Amino acid sequence: MQMEQRKKIEPVIQCDNLCKTFRTPGGDQEVIRNISLDVQENEFVVLFGPGQCGKTTFLNMIAGLEKSTAGTVTVSRKCVTEPGPQRGVVFQSVALFPWLTTMGNVEYGLKMAGVKKEERQKRAQKYIDLVGLQGFENTFPVELSGGMKQRVGIARAYCIEPEVMLLDEPFGALDAQTRYLMQEELERIWQTAKRTVVFVTNNIEEALYLADRIIVLSPCPCSIVKEFEIDLPRPRNYTSQEFLHLRKEIDATINSST
């Protein structure tokens, strides 16, 4: 039923036969082979694949940071040719500006868009509160923990209110405990401020906890192996029967594909 409803609406992100080949002095290296993917509005899609498989390249192509060799990406009917505020990105390395405070980092996008100081601080404050960083507005990144930095990164991407959020293994560098916490936080944030999300990870638990749909990708050259619709109720339990069952199923898919 849910599926049928979704199909009727035009997808927000449409990737059509995307290919990417890097030309290196040592010869051409095919990274992505014929990926076609539609993402519906407010859908949480997780790209799940082994390390170095090309998922980041795929995400960067949606962001417009990387050009495709063949095929097209359209977001809300607009063809993606360069990066822009329509698509917010949270980078794996966080990439906060160390010379700006939490507030400075979060309001950065609005500043580039020419929003007046009072207005942009008000809007930035809303997202600082949303990610639970009230009281740290004037703190510099060097004084924040890894998890807090990622919260700033998420608030910064959210603050320009993009149509699409792209997250590239945002919790990859966190310790296991913080990682669980941040997954729960991200789900809460997403539930509060719904967005179309594409989230890249190589962690199967993370994928299952967050995703409406998991796209399993093959090792290089990257292509879609299988899709899984996850309709477990949220917030999910990492140790429930259904959770573990799905986990086994996805594991089996990966093992049979490699």
Partner 1 sequence: MKKLARHKYLLISCLSIVLILLTWYLCVDILNMVSGSAFPKLTKTISTFIKKFTTAAPDGATLTVHFFNSIKVALWGYVMGVIVGVPLGILMAWFRKFDMFARPLFDLIRPIPGIAWIPLFILMFGIGVLPKALVIFLGVLIPSTVNAYTGIKQTSDVHLWVGDVFGASNAQKLFKIAIPTATPMIFTGLRVAMGSAWSALVAAELLASSSGLGYLIQIGRSISRSDLVLVGMICIGVTGALLDELLHLVEIRVAKGMNAK
Under the binding rule (CB under 8 A), the answer on residue 98 touching partner 1 is yes
Under the binding rule (CB under 8 A), the answer on residue 173 touching partner 1 is no
Name which of 97 and 238 has its Cβ closer to partner 1.
Answer: 97
Q: Of 83, 129, 175, 252, which lies in the binding site for partner 1, with binding defined by CB under 8 A?
A: 83
| 3-state SS, residue 254 | helix
- 182's CB contacts (< 8 A; 6+ apart) are 147, 150, 151, 170, 171, 174
Under the binding rule (CB under 8 A), the answer on residue 84 touching partner 1 is yes
Nearest to 39 by CA among 66, 73, 64: 73
String of contacts with partner 1 for each residue 117-146, x by CB under 8 A: -----------------------xxx----
Nearest to 149 by CA among 201, 101, 209: 101
CB of 84 to partner 1, least distance (A): 5
Q: 175 has which bridge partners?
A: none
By CB under 8 A, which span of 38-46, 94-102, 124-132, 202-210 interacts with partner 1?
A: 94-102
Q: Of 46, 75, 160, 167, which lies in the binding site for partner 1, with binding defined by CB under 8 A?
A: 160
Taken in order 230, 179, 35, 216, the sign of the CA dihedral is negative
**Helix pair 117-130, 146-159: axis angle to 10 deg:** 130
Binding site for partner 1 (CB under 8 A): 63-65, 82-85, 87-89, 91, 93, 95, 97-101, 108-109, 111-113, 140-142, 160
